[in-house]
Amino acid sequence: MARYGPADVTVTYNGNLIPDVTVIGEITKEMILEETTPFGVAWEQHASVGVGRVAPITLEAPYSDDATFLRARAEAVGIGGTATLLLVFGGAKSLSVSTVVMSITRTLERGALNRIAVELQPTGTPTEA
């Protein structure tokens, strides 16, 4: 069985390959649950409400003025704007989902490169291949 690492990953955002992403936050798919524990029962019980979601995904990169890098591409979409995120994990395995830009954060720290982080809220059904 093949195994993949960072060199096998590609990030495409709004139809553009983003070559400078160095961190991709957790990619969590989950179902929304409601607690249904009746009185007199000692352990929690839960039921699915039938709605799934993908938790926010954060992309990070060194801050750059290059027009093809993360900062420029995210700012072009803008806070509240929507664009498709396509992550290829290696081989033929990928995840594609429409996203809304929740935030763009710049971090300045002594002894480190300036960084940009873009938090994306997936919306709708993710497509996995």
Walk me through the domains of the chain, giving residue ranges and CATH numbers: 6-128 (2.40.30)
Strands annotated E in the chain? 10-13, 16-17, 23-24, 29-35, 46-54, 57-62, 82-90, 93-107, 115-128
Paired with 94 in beta bridges are 88
pLDDT band at 1 (very low <50, low <70, confident <90, very high): confident
Tell me: pLDDT of 66 over 90: yes
Instruction: Supply the pLDDT for residue 92.
Output: 87
Per-residue pLDDT averaged across 67-88, rounded?
97
For tokens 């498709």, what's the residue? Answer: 84
Instruction: Supply the pLDDT for residue 94.
Output: 96
Using CA atoms, how far residue 110 sits from 20, 44, 113, in Å, is 21, 47, 8
- Please tell me whether residue 95 adopts helix, strand or coil conformation: strand
pLDDT band at 59 (very low <50, low <70, confident <90, very high): very high
Q: What is the pTM of this model?
A: 0.89
